Amino acid sequence: MTSAELDGAALQHPKTQAGDLKFEDVNGDGVINQSDRKIVGTPWPDFTWGLDNNFKLGNLSLNISLVGSQGAYTYLDAGASLLGSNGVQNNLALTDRRWRSEADPGDGIMPRSIRSNHALGFGTSSHYLFENSFTRIRNIKLSYDLPKTLTSVLHLNNLNVYVNVANVYTFTDYPGYDPESSITGDNVVNAGIDYLNYPLPRTYTLGIKTTF
C-alpha cells in the first residue's frame, strides 16, 4: 500500500502505513473485518501427469521418471513466521523482495519489515496462499547387464548392477519445502495446508540383481 492509497481507504488497522499489506474491502462497506472473507484458490490441481522414459544402449539401460501437477494452491501456515520480516526468525529468501520505501517498493507483494505486525491479527490471509504447480524428477535408474561371457563363468544366468536416485529435483515456484506438503495427509476436508512438513528426501541406492 502506498501513502496515496491510505487516504480514504478501508483500513485493516489504525496503525496501517505505507508498505503494509492491503486488504480487499469485499463487501464495500468501508471497513475491513471478517465480513470481507471470500473463498480463494483450491488445493485440487487442474491436472496431474507423469512420464516414464526408458533408454537402452547395448547392455546399458537408463530409466527417468517424471511427475507433475498444475493449478493447485497450498496455504503456507508457517508464513507468519517465515515471511514476517520481524527480525525474530530466519525468513525465506523471497522476503528480500520486501517494500523498503516509496522509491523502492520491492515486488509489490512482500510488505515492509515490522517488529509487531498488526496485519497478522486479521487471521488467515491469501498473502500466504501460493500456487504449488511443479515438475519433479522422481527417479533416475542406471543399470548394466554384465556380458554373458562373464556371467557364465560365475554360473549365473544374469547379473545386473544398478544405481538409483529417488526424488532427484523439483522445479517449482512454491516457496515451502515441498509443493505436495499437507499437514493433514489425505484428509480431503483440510487439504493443502503446509506447516513446514519435512521434505521428501533424496535417496541413493546401489544394488545387484541376479538370476541363477
Say how many domains are in the chain. Answer: 2
Q: Does residue 22 lie in a domain region?
A: yes
Q: Does residue 127 lie in a domain region?
A: no
Q: Are residues 101 and 54 in the same domain?
A: no
Q: Does residue 143 lie in a domain region?
A: yes
Q: Does residue 83 lie in a domain region?
A: no
Q: How confident is the model at residue 51 (pLDDT cuts 50, 70, 90)?
A: very high
Q: Are residues 34 and 95 in the same domain?
A: yes
pTM of the model: 0.82
Give the model confidence (pLDDT) of 156-182 as tens digits.
788 889 999 999 999 999 998 899 888
Q: Does residue 77 lie in a domain region?
A: no
| Cα distance between residue 129 and residue 179, in whole Å | 12
Is pLDDT above 80 for 155? no
Domain range for 31 is: 1-38+88-121
Q: Are residues 145 and 211 in the same domain?
A: yes
Q: Are residues 67 and 94 in the same domain?
A: no
User: Hey, what's the cell of 134?
Assistant: 511443479
DSSP 199: P
User: Hey, what's the cell of 50?
Assistant: 507423469
Burial of 66 (0-12, 13-18, 19+ CB in 10 A): middle
Give the model confidence (pLDDT) of 3-18 as tens digits.
787 877 787 777 788 8
